[in-house]
Amino acid sequence: MRRSRWALGLIATALSVAGCSPDVSSPEPDESTHAQHASLDAAWAAGVFYPVGTRVTYVGRTYECRQAHTSQADWMPSAVAALWLDLGPATGGSDAGTGGNDAGTGGNDGGTTGDTTAPTANIGASATRFTAAGSLTVTASATDNVGVTRVEILENGAVVATGSQFSRAFSDSTQNGTYVYAVRAYDAAGNVGTKTVTVVVELPGGNPGGGKKLIAYFTAWGIYGRNYPVSNVPAAKLTHINYAFSNISSEGKCVLGDVFADIDKGGGWAGEWNPGQLRGNFRAFKELKRTHPHLKLLISVGGWSWSTHFSTVAATAAKRAAFVKSCVDLYIRGQYPGVDPVNGAGVFDGIDIDWEYPVGGGLPGNSNSPADKQNYTLLMEEFRSQLNAVTAQTGQRYLLTIASGASPDLLVNKQETKRLSDVLDWINVMTYDYHGAFESTVNFHSPLYRVTGDPGAGDGFYSDATVAKMLELGVPPAKVVLGVPFYGRGWGSVPNVNNGLFQSGVPTKGTWDDGSSGLTGVFDYKDIKVNYERAGSGYTKFFHPESKQAYVYSPSTRVWIAYDDPQSLSAKSDYILNKGLGGAMFWELSGDDGSLVEALYQKLH
């Protein structure tokens, strides 16, 4: 297969930035570059400056430089047709050198109009599923109409062997996970053939969570002002991560939420700036999963800000099929813009849909329809169907989940909660944000149980009521994952009555509020711990025995904030265990100082 146009374009663009545009004659580098200068018809080497027209030999063939550049280790003439014109065998013959009718641009094997047939690659594994300790041997082979020049074996996207065989041992449950092995075979013309095989490792022993899921949301924007990179993730204490978020275009397709954060930000990986390589948070998570193979990563689609088009894409069978295909191609097949799918595949293990909300609610301007209730189920069935089709090709099973609103009214009237659970692996129920500064009465935003005197209790706005409704509707307990917040919600101008609880209040400035956000009253847990719990802050901390939430209040500032702390999460973990629920989900990692994850891990591990 010929290299795609976007790959050649990326190389040309990179060279233009470096002063090597094919349309501008490039001066030779000065001595400060420490690059060698090429001699005529010498063997190709890395670290050499090649002017346009220079000829080299490589793997028995002669190439002519098409764009002035200083060579890099991975820019071999056979691999980068944008830089090198293939003139044919170095020993001469009808298609080599400067003579003959087919030199350089013609003939059966000359230049970019010659060999366009990729090698046929094959790969096999000694076993594709391990339920007991053992050794794996991966065997690769390839054939080509002209000749194979190199064969590589990759494990989850990383080259682990150059040659026909790779072996490794699986000895304990810390290695559990899905391993995608690929063979990549090259010919002298730069064509590449690939094939994959999937190996699943399920050794006995306790993974984090001890059968209970511990699911974290990671926000793409956390790498900016919050300074929370992927390297901060406590992977050993989590079972799953939902990456927030994928957007949905007006054309009804899944699109990257932040191209730079997702796939472009450099991370210091070898060869990361070569054409077709994956970078950004996605690359960082791919690397993290290599050292923590039990960890599963799902892309979360939508969210509060990007649920605008859900109703539209779910409205008809054709739109559902097209939308789902775009999500599966992008995130499961790894077809990211500018990235070779061989490098892009293996990042995500499933898809999490966060539609806020079917039928109604969410941001003004969101599309909505009464038919959303049924169409949501049909959309999830389409996701399951297309994910199963990929499984048939790769052997890997892909997860499908949703983040559901917690309102009993939504669970009954705005989505087919039981039918959804039949299709999904589990439901992350957002048992938080029951109350907040969007209301004028101070209240707990994530109470576990009904609170005496709570004016909103009759609506079922507490976690136990939500869970009870889901179980009443027939959702299996193991498919209910309880949401817990790593943030608090607060009010200002709260009278000093009943320590502020159930009093009047107004929006107040939260941790990250600025002129664009307005006053949300949302506080990171780590902010509350450092600035509101500390002695001398003027705030008193309380723990409510019914809500199982902590809160702080200051009569002088008249600010009141409710939140989950380690004591809260211990109580909610006990609830999960007693009810036989699937586990805990939390929003989101960057709000913690480590103590909240630890509290969940200690109880659910």
Show which residues are catalytic: 356
- Going 33 to 35 to 40 to 45, the CA torsion angle's sign is negative
Tokens in use for 275?
């054409």
Q: In what order do the strands lie in the sheet with 61-65?
A: 42-43, 55-58, 61-65, 84-89
Amino acid type, 84 = W
Tell me the C-alpha distance between 583 and 214, whole Å. 6
Residue whose structure tokens are 């991966």 = 138
Structural element, H or E, at residue 141 = strand 134-143
Tokens in use for 377?
């189920």
DSSP class of residue 461 equals -
Instruction: Please count the residues of the chain.
Output: 605
Tokens in use for 167?
């072996």
Contact 314, 372 (CB under 8 A): yes
Contact 346, 334 (CB under 8 A): yes
Q: Which of 287, 277, 279, 274 minimizes the C-alpha distance to 263?
A: 279
- Helix orientation angle between 317-327 and 372-394, rounded to the nearest 10 degrees: 40
Contact 398, 178 (CB under 8 A): no
**Distances, alpha carbon 565 to alpha carbons 157, 297, 476, 582, 600, in Å:** 39, 26, 28, 21, 11
Tell me the C-alpha distance between 320 and 394, whole Å. 23
Contact 179, 107 (CB under 8 A): no
Tell me the C-alpha distance between 87 and 106, whole Å. 9
DSSP 83-136: TEEEEEETT--TTSSS-STTSSSSTTTSGGGS--PPPEEEEEES-SEESSSEEE
Our separate counts of H helices and E strands in the chain read 13, 29
User: What burial class does residue 259 get, using C-beta atoms within 10 Å of its C-beta: 0-12 exposed, 13-18 middle, 19+ buried?
Assistant: middle
DSSP class of residue 328 equals I
- For the chain, the distance separating the N- and C-terminal CA atoms, rounded to the nearest angstrom, is 48
Torsion of CA 228, 230, 234, 235, to 10 degrees: 160
Residue 403: helix, strand or coil by DSSP? Answer: strand
DSSP 407-436: -HHHHHHTS-HHHHHHHSSEEEE----SS-
Q: Report the DSSP beta bridge partners of residue 522.
A: 489
Tell me the C-alpha distance between 412 and 465, whole Å. 13
- Helix orientation angle between 463-472 and 566-579, rounded to the nearest 10 degrees: 20
Contact 450, 398 (CB under 8 A): no
